[in-house]
Amino acid sequence: MRHALTLLVCVGCTGAPLDRNADGGYPNHNNPTGTLEGTLVYQGPAPPVDVRGRPTGRVVLLLFRADEPPPPRGLATTAVSLQALPASQLFASATPLPDGTVRASAPFIFPGIERPDEYQLRAFYSAREETQADGTNNRYPTGFQPLFTIRNQPVRGDVGGGAVLDPTARDARFLRIPLGTPTRTAEGSLRYRFPEGGSVTRGVTVFLGTPFPTDRPVFHYVTGVSQRFTEARPEAPPTSAAARAPYARATGFLSPEARVLELSSTVTVDPTAQGQEVPSFLLRAGLDTDAERDRARVAGVEVQPRAALRFLETAFDYDGDGAFAWNPLSPDPRANADAHPTLVLPNPMGGVLRTPWLFPLVVLARLHDPTAEDVRTLSAPSPAPESLLRIAAELNRPERGGLDRSNPQAPRPVYPVVLFGAVVPGGDPRTGFLTHNPPWPDPRARELEENLRVLVPPVAFELHGPNPLTDWVALIPPLAPALLAVVQGSLPPHYRCDSTGLPSGRYALNVVSQTGQAWTVPNELSPLALGTAPFSVPSQGLVVRITAGMPAAGARCPTPPER
């Protein structure tokens, strides 16, 4: 995250003319930036106060591109930028209300936005302070911390909101906020640019008033209950410099204390099994042991005892109409508006079955491989410890799109890759998952589960751009003949299949609740082969690894009639 400067100081200025070129940049001075200005409006629980009576915590403003929102509506793993305001500024003139809540407002400025575009502005009030005492004269970090995934999202009791169309609506719709001067392209789409002096969008109102009723969906993998996955451990650290880069690519520097779920890139599904042979694994709410909870607390993560935690399972109203439209046997898209976007499996009676898309949402995101610069550092005889830690941190973050400059003569685009998991109602794939109605007839019904059974349909998605409807390519492995026969006419409009199957590599596991709160493994609590931190939590070192495989006998790629 970048913290913007609001004051520009000219050092060593001369009379030389400035080279101003809006298309090619502004090489002789700072590029123009954008600013959002507006008002924070809060109505919710009274803030806690410190011993001096001052409100504790802060308001966090998170900026996202409008076409790349965070889950569950998008896949953004981090905000474009953020700003924070002290709670004392927001609540300086708070007014108590008869129902025990308070109303408050304050102006805000969000400066230093580097790219002209349309944005969403989300926010939450984090009541917790940076440190807290535990009753033993020790103090631990807590509250929001933007640099660590384990602490960069709201927790139970925080109050959320943003710049929304209607703050009273059950399903808030975030505004698209334009920033910059718009021009229309030949294709009819809008493109924004900053004038030389920058751009300011004023009059943005951010509403805060929805307390988060749950904590983030902290989870760990339950060993011995996976299906079609092979459980393994990361290899021991190498002793030679030449082996260090391949080791980093294979393990992300996770230590042998971590766990690996391996899946063949050419995994096939038996259509006669009604989906029961789709790869799956079991997750459990909370951390694995009380000792892990204690270590997480040192890092600022408060996790309730495992017995008190449950996943809140419910249907996902994908089209946002307030109703759950899912008919597993209907070919009508309107009857399946809320069906899972990728889990389309063969119907024993012919054709295909649409399956429900349920919360929590599960996304597997491919992680970074070492860059060319990383490989040079890793191959050095004695790389600096801080360089190794930096590389390890990058290797355990989702890959970003852009150009791969490993080969300067032929740079190629790199696209993020994800797989979508499917939550199984009741947690048991043997219960006729594909043919019985889920226990939630509408999006408001819900069920608490300690365990989460997740199916992983063998279809990956390569994300080529911000439009979730068109800017992707489905990547599928060769299909068994029986499966090929029933899905031949039901494949996504954009797909690619070759003998290598699913993209190989390491994948992080993300679980997203209906509040948009998420938990990801591996994370900063993961034990590293570079050295175990005092707050190392072994169960948070899980990584999914897709390994190169050989297609099953008779398996082949589908070919559309027009090809």
Residue 413 CB neighbours (<10 A): 9
* 559 inside domain: no
**Is residue 169 domain-shared with residue 232, that is, in the same domain?**
no
* 15 inside domain: no
427/446 Cα distance (integer angstroms): 14
Q: Would you give the distance in Å from CA 66 to the centre of its chain?
A: 16
**Is residue 256 domain-shared with residue 308, that is, in the same domain?**
yes
- Report yes or no: 285 and 307 within 8 Å, Cβ to Cβ: no
265/333 Cα distance (integer angstroms): 30
**Is residue 93 domain-shared with residue 223, that is, in the same domain?**
no
**Alpha-carbon distances of 495 from 33, 462, 487, rounded to whole Å:** 38, 9, 13
**Is residue 161 domain-shared with residue 232, that is, in the same domain?**
no
Residue 197 CB neighbours (<10 A): 7
Q: Give the CATH number, domain containing residue 42.
A: 2.60.40
**Is residue 172 domain-shared with residue 237, that is, in the same domain?**
no
**Is residue 250 domain-shared with residue 188, that is, in the same domain?**
no
**Is residue 57 domain-shared with residue 95, that is, in the same domain?**
yes
* 261 inside domain: yes
**Is residue 436 domain-shared with residue 538, that is, in the same domain?**
yes
* 446 inside domain: yes
Burial class of 408 by CB neighbour count within 10 A (0 to 12, 13 to 18, 19+): exposed
**Alpha-carbon distances of 63 from 82, 143, 195, 500, 519, rounded to whole Å:** 6, 19, 21, 38, 20
Identify residue 525 by its one-letter amino acid code.
Answer: L
180/172 Cα distance (integer angstroms): 25
**Is residue 198 domain-shared with residue 233, that is, in the same domain?**
no
Query: Where is 358: in which H helix or E strand?
Result: strand 358-359
Chosen domain end from 162, 189, 211: 211
As a whole number of Å, the end-to-end CA separation of the chain is: 45
**Is residue 235 domain-shared with residue 182, that is, in the same domain?**
no
Q: What string of pLDDT tens digits covers the 563 residues of the chain?
A: 222 222 222 222 233 333 444 444 444 456 899 999 999 999 999 999 888 889 989 999 999 999 888 877 777 767 899 999 999 999 998 999 999 999 999 999 999 999 999 999 999 999 876 555 444 555 566 678 887 888 888 998 999 999 999 888 777 789 999 999 998 887 777 889 999 889 999 999 999 999 998 889 999 999 988 989 999 999 888 889 999 999 999 999 999 889 999 999 999 876 555 556 789 999 999 999 999 998 898 888 888 887 778 888 888 877 777 777 877 777 777 888 888 877 766 665 656 667 778 889 999 999 999 988 999 999 999 899 889 989 998 998 888 766 555 555 556 677 889 999 988 776 655 544 444 455 555 556 677 888 898 989 888 988 887 665 577 888 888 887 777 776 666 666 778 888 899 999 999 999 999 888 999 999 999 999 987 666 789 999 999 999 998 888 888 888 765 44
Structure pTM? 0.85
Q: Which domain holds residue 133?
A: 34-211
**Is residue 277 domain-shared with residue 205, that is, in the same domain?**
no
What are φ and ψ of residue 482, in 5° steps? -65, -40
357/355 Cα distance (integer angstroms): 7
**Alpha-carbon distances of 249 from 71, 242, 252, 396, rounded to whole Å:** 27, 13, 6, 10
**Is residue 103 domain-shared with residue 200, that is, in the same domain?**
yes
Q: Which residues contact 384 (CB under 8 A, 6 or more apart)?
A: none
